[in-house]
Structure 1
Amino acid sequence: MRSRQSLLEIFSTFLQFEGDRVSVWAIDARLRRSMQQCLQQSDNSETSGNFWALYWYKVWQEDEGNDPNSFAHLIAYLQETCYWSAQKTMTNFALTQYTLPDCFQVAISKVQKILSGFNPQQGFSLQNYASAIFASTIRDTLRQRQEVDICTNWALLRKVSQKRLIESLQNAGLSAETIATYILAWNCFKSLYVPTQETATRKLPRPDEATWAVIEQRYNADRRQVPSAPAAQPETLEKWLNVCAQAARSYLNPNLVSINTPKAGQDTGELLDDVPESSRESLLADLIADEEDQTRQDQRSQLNQILEAAIGQLDPELQAILHLYYRENCTQQQMAERLDIKQYTVSRRLTKAREQLLKKLALWSQETLHISLTSALLQSMSLVMEEWLQQHYKPSSSV
């Protein structure tokens, strides 16, 4: 993939894929005109991509997220960050059904979430913050979809929660009465079809006839609780439950739609075309006046020192776990075998190591940046720390 060089490109072009590869940087003419206008107003004195990212972020923030022009500029800016996050994360998953464009689209759809959680006062760049969320989003999505793909209908129905199943059926367009009936059937199935320890949970087979008879008996006895629920035989219950499984599968593993998809019923145009032009001369002047790059660089340097010192204070076993996980990209099972401990112990100690580092980071933020800690801020710090750990343990020979 060719890296973009000019600010016009960085804030007005979007990746287009052909098959599994990037084919071209597509130019959005409306965004290009918007960026040209801003560069002319600033007399080209500001050439930093980070500066303009903060500018468009503040435009977006000032308009409470209602300025599609600023939002589109930020999506364009984060294209390369998203691409490299997708490529790096995919290497840790042995998946053949999901391509790089799939993962890219999963991640880029989270730009709204990224902007809502980003706080430039913490001293982190938008790219680093976005990279952590992109990677986390892709990992979570791939794990979930991998689980959905390899589960039989009956295993999936035992794993899915009632809340998620209701959302799935609502997403499928079913009526409230039908959903209530299906949920009753599902509860009867889940309470009566309990796999044995010898049964592979992901490959759970269809219930046998005796189990279906018990499920039918329970359902017809309990259906008085749902006035709209009709009487049903095993064949009908099986059909309903397969509908539930398919709805859950579609909801948890939806089809991906590119933001470059042509508009429906039109020969030309894409989904990103409908963005109005805007001008923010006074905000641009304020942002240039308030720019404090040196302060942010100092804070980033302090952050490195704090986290490096915190790692040095961890128990040797916790340090080893971090090294195996981030440096050698080991799975928890591989780590358990290397360290001769149980997998659940690895999971707990990895969580403990992260929590200890996060406490050090939070304390530093309170004392140095005078930031009041909230749950949202701690979550944001956790994402930034995750990205820092990935960079910190990256082999020096990596490109």
Structure 2
Amino acid sequence: MRPRQNIIELFSTFIQFNADRFSHWITEPRLRRSLENAITRLEQTENSETFWMLYWYKSWQCESSNFSKSHLTAYLQESCYWAAEKTSNNFGSNQYTLSDCFQIAIANIDTVLKGYNPTQGFPLKNYASAIFSSTIRNLLRDRLEVNISTTWSLLRRISQKRLVESLQQTGLSEEKIATYLLAWKCFKTLYLPEQATGTRKLPAPDQATWEAIANYYNQQRITQLQPGAMEINPEILEKWLTTCAKAARNYLYPPVVSLNAAKPGQEADEFIDSLPETATESLLTEIIAQEELQNRAEQLKHINAVLCGAIVKLDPEAQNIIKLYYGQNFTQQQIAQHLEIKQYTVSRRLTKARESLLLALAQWSQDTLHISPNSNVLKDISIVMEEWLKDNLSNSNF
């Protein structure tokens, strides 16, 4: 991947995929004009990406710019790409490609921006990389679970709330949703397979069960549905339940659509063309001063020093374990074999080493930045610490 060369590129270009790999950077003209206008109005000659990251982040927080989120989405393209590549390779999914994983992650840009706290001194790119990776992993696991579940297993496991939301998403009337919901309740009541209810491979009910469910529905409709509700047979019942399962799959895990895909019925236009037109930008008062940027650079140096110092204080065995785990991607079992110790010993030592590093970083944060180490702060620090360990312990010059 060719690195972007300047501030204009960093905040106005997006990755173009070809054959599921990075092809080139594509410029969004409206974002480019937006950034050029901001540079002119602010008379800003500072080429620091940190300055402009914080500028657009503050603007996004104040909701004073229609383009702030788009600029930050462009800025985080590399973080999202590398997180998608690493996670998709490790996960080993044949169904979801690198570009699929990229879109899954970048669609959660709001989660990254809402969770990021610039006062803690951690780079947005590092924080975003951790969130993107976590998002992809969790979604791939959940989607795999849904995709390999049969229709009948999915219907037994889904909650009533989720099923109603799924059916509402399809645009069905409230009356129709009520009939589908009653059919689903009757199905759950009478379909009691011998296998454990948590299995993903439940077969369809047999004919006798279908008839029993249909009869039970016809009895319940008299009191639970509006007068005149139609009587159904097993074939209609099966069709309704299949529709419910399809709606649930599409609602819980909608298909990924590329921004470069053609709009339905408008093959000449792409979804990316729907970005809003340039709007007048509001000048943020008292925007980040140069002194603040220098302070942040110093904070990052201190964070590196704190973690390096904390690692040095660990005993040799603990140092060896975390270097093998983070630097060489060894599993705990591989580390145990390599060091000729028990796996539970590796797990215990690894947990203790993490706690020591987290404590050192939290103490520095409290003493230097005067940030109280509450649960949210510790969670953020832990995420960034994990990324730091992966990035730095894999460096042969560490």
Name the CA distance, whole Å, in 1 between partners of 2:147 and 2:61.
39
Q: 1:93 to 1:309 in 2, by over 3 A?
A: same
Name the CA distance, whole Å, in 1 between partners of 2:186 and 2:324.
46
Q: 1:57 to 1:238 in 2, by over 3 A?
A: same
The answer to whether the 8 Å contact 2:130/2:383 transfers is yes
1:300 equivalent to 2:298? Answer no
RMSD: 4.1
Q: 1:325 to 1:161 in 2, by over 3 A?
A: farther
Q: Give the equivalent residue in structure 2 for 1:182.
A: 180
The answer to whether the 8 Å contact 2:195/2:202 transfers is no
Q: Secondary structure at the match of 1:91?
A: helix
Q: Give the equivalent residue in structure 1 for 2:9.
A: 9
* Of 272-281 and 7-16, the range deviating more from structure 2: 272-281
Aligned residue pairs, count: 387
Give, as a single letter, the amino acid of the residue that structure 2 aligns with 1:7: I
* Of 260-269 and 84-93, the range deviating more from structure 2: 260-269
* Of 166-175 and 16-25, the range deviating more from structure 2: 16-25
Q: Give the equivalent residue in structure 2 for 1:110.
A: 108
Give, as a single letter, the amino acid of the residue that structure 2 aligns with 1:301: N
Name the CA distance, whole Å, in 1 between partners of 2:239 and 2:380.
44
Q: TM-score, normalised by structure 1?
A: 0.79
Q: TM-score, normalised by structure 2?
A: 0.79
Deviations 1:106-149 (A, max 9, x none): 11111122112211001111101111111111111111111122
Q: Structure 2 residue aligned with 1:219, among 209, 217, 220?
A: 217
The answer to whether the 8 Å contact 1:182/1:244 transfers is yes
The answer to whether the 8 Å contact 1:114/1:133 transfers is yes
Name the CA distance, whole Å, in 1 between partners of 2:263 and 2:211.
51
1:328 equivalent to 2:326? Answer no
Q: Give the equivalent residue in structure 1 for 2:72.
A: 74
Q: 1:172 to 1:388 in 2, by over 3 A?
A: farther
Q: Give the equivalent residue in structure 1 for 2:158.
A: 160
Q: 1:40 to 1:107 in 2, by over 3 A?
A: same
Same amino acid, percent of matched pairs: 49
Q: CA deviation at 1:256?
A: 1.7
Give, as a single letter, the amino acid of the residue that structure 2 aligns with 1:21: R
Q: Secondary structure at the match of 2:16?
A: strand
Q: 1:323 to 1:181 in 2, by over 3 A?
A: farther
Q: Secondary structure at the match of 1:254?
A: coil
The answer to whether the 8 Å contact 2:150/2:200 transfers is yes
The answer to whether the 8 Å contact 2:153/2:198 transfers is no
Name the CA distance, whole Å, in 2 between partners of 1:239 and 1:300.
60
Deviations 1:349-386 (A, max 9, x none): 99999889767766664555333566655554454344
Q: Give the equivalent residue in structure 2 for 1:133.
A: 131
1:249 equivalent to 2:252? Answer no
Name the CA distance, whole Å, in 2 between partners of 1:53 and 1:245.
43
* Of 73-82 and 235-244, the range deviating more from structure 2: 235-244
Q: 1:52 to 1:321 in 2, by over 3 A?
A: closer
Q: Give the equivalent residue in structure 2 for 1:121.
A: 119
Q: Give the equivalent residue in structure 1 for 2:55.
A: 55
Q: Give the equivalent residue in structure 2 for 1:32.
A: 32
Deviations 1:225-273 (A, max 9, x none): 5223644332222111111111111122312223344566484573354
Name the CA distance, whole Å, in 2 between partners of 1:368 and 1:149.
49
Q: Which runs of no fewer than 5 residues in structure 2 stay unpaired?
A: none
- Which one has more relative contact order, counting CA pairs under 8 Å at least 6 apart? 1
Q: Secondary structure at the match of 1:16?
A: strand
The answer to whether the 8 Å contact 1:321/1:335 transfers is no
Give, as a single letter, the amino acid of the residue that structure 2 aligns with 1:178: K
Q: CA deviation at 1:95?
A: 2.0
Q: Structure 1 residue aligned with 2:206, among 205, 208, 211?
A: 208
Q: Secondary structure at the match of 1:22?
A: strand
Q: CA deviation at 1:39?
A: 4.0
Question: For residues 305-384 of structure 1, what are the structure 2 equivalents within 5 Å?
Answer: 308=311, 328=329, 365-366=365-366, 368-372=368-372, 377=377, 379-384=379-384
Give, as a single letter, the amino acid of the residue that structure 2 aligns with 1:293: R
The answer to whether the 8 Å contact 2:358/2:382 transfers is yes
Q: Give the equivalent residue in structure 1 for 2:276.
A: 274
Q: Give the equivalent residue in structure 1 for 2:290.
A: 288
The answer to whether the 8 Å contact 1:72/1:272 transfers is no
Q: 1:174 to 1:326 in 2, by over 3 A?
A: farther
Name the CA distance, whole Å, in 2 between partners of 1:175 and 1:117.
37
Name the CA distance, whole Å, in 1 between partners of 2:193 and 2:378.
40
Give, as a single letter, the amino acid of the residue that structure 2 aligns with 1:208: D
Give, as a single letter, the amino acid of the residue that structure 1 aligns with 2:299: R
Q: 1:307 to 1:53 in 2, by over 3 A?
A: farther
The answer to whether the 8 Å contact 1:182/1:240 transfers is yes
Name the CA distance, whole Å, in 1 between partners of 2:330 and 2:167.
38
Name the CA distance, whole Å, in 2 between partners of 1:162 and 1:361.
44
Give, as a single letter, the amino acid of the residue that structure 1 aligns with 2:278: P
